[in-house]
Amino acid sequence: MGKLVVVGVDGSSSCRTAVEAAARESRWRGARLHVVHAFSRPGKPMYRQLDPAPLDRLTGEAADHAREVAPGLEVTDAVVTGGAVEVLGAESRAADLVVVGARGVGGFVGMLLGSTAVTLAAHTECPVMVVREEPTDTGPIALAVDGSPVGGMAVEFAFAEAALRTAEVLAVHAWLPDYAPPGTGVESPERLLAEALTGFTERYPDVVVRQEVLSGEPRETLIEASRNAQLMVVGARGRGGFAGLLLGSVSQAVLHHAHCPVTVVRGKG
């Protein structure tokens, strides 16, 4: 784990919960927290002289709240001109985690009803955490396992996160029998799940792992697995089952309906 967490803010109630989640993440990691507001300045001359003070107050108050959540935390803040995906994408190059809220009034948040969240999670260079509700520190880290290479980075992130939080991992593989008829040479779902976790249980001996192979529709399975979890972790690409995810309906459903924050892992996982 690295030493920088970035959180996007816009003053909404959702962004407040994102700041709280980001502050806790920074404290667990021993990382610096950077609070950022993206400001897309219209091109009309009348907007060019806008007073930046309200935006500076926005990021400053968010930074102060982060310090209240995690006293002693190193926090910086900035207002950056540009679109949300552009700015967060640039910030993600040096970050180990980007955190955003699921609802907002523009800027970074309010993204989940459109294409911005999908684009952000698909193209940033570090994991992205989307916070829907008030985060909790209880329950397992729910991990969607599909056996893909990027899914392996999600496994790595989930185990490391569980170690930071002193939580257990609930590793779930959704098995759709119709897509793996007998005699096709497709490995058993139990074997796929076990192989995906190989090595991580040894690297993180203090992390308790529960494995579940479930036959069912991936969207419903993931959403149900998130019900008692403190975090859901999914990969940005996959190969059937949970796969895919960010360009299809499964990831959209998870981001919209999970009962806990969701982290999408790609790139630096």
Query: pLDDT of 214-236, one tens digit each?
Result: 888 888 898 999 999 999 998 87
Residue 70, sorted as left (phi over 0), alpha (psi -120 to 50) or beta, turns out to be beta
CB 7 within 8 A of CB 18: yes
Residue 85 has pLDDT above 90, yes or no: no
Instruction: State residue 203's pLDDT score.
Output: 96
Cα–Cα distances (Å) from 66 to 17, 26, 107, 200, in that order, read 10, 10, 19, 32
Least confident window among 94-103, 106-115, 195-204, 222-231: 106-115
The one-letter amino acid code at 172 reads: V
Look up residue 3 and give its amino acid. K
At 122, the pLDDT band (50, 70, 90 cuts) reads confident
List pLDDT tens digits, range 48-73: 555 667 888 999 999 999 999 999 99
Distance CA 197, CA 232 (A): 16
DSSP track, 82-116: S-HHHHHHHHHTT-SEEEEESS-SSTTSS-TTSSH
Helix 249-257 and helix 116-123: axis angle, to 10°? 110
Q: Tell me what pLDDT residue 15 has.
A: 87
Per-residue confidence (pLDDT) for residue 269, from 0 to 100: 45
pTM summary value: 0.86
Judge whether residue 150 has pLDDT over 80.
Answer: no
Using pLDDT thresholds of 50, 70 and 90, give the confidence band for residue 116: low
**Model confidence at 9: pLDDT above 80:** yes
Average predicted confidence (pLDDT) for the chain: 82
**Confidence check: pLDDT of 10 > 80:** yes
Q: Is the pLDDT of residue 182 over 90?
A: no
Is 131:17 a contact under the CB 8 Å cutoff? Answer: yes
The continuous run of DSSP H or E covering 5 comes out as: strand 4-8
Greater pLDDT, 181 or 84: 84
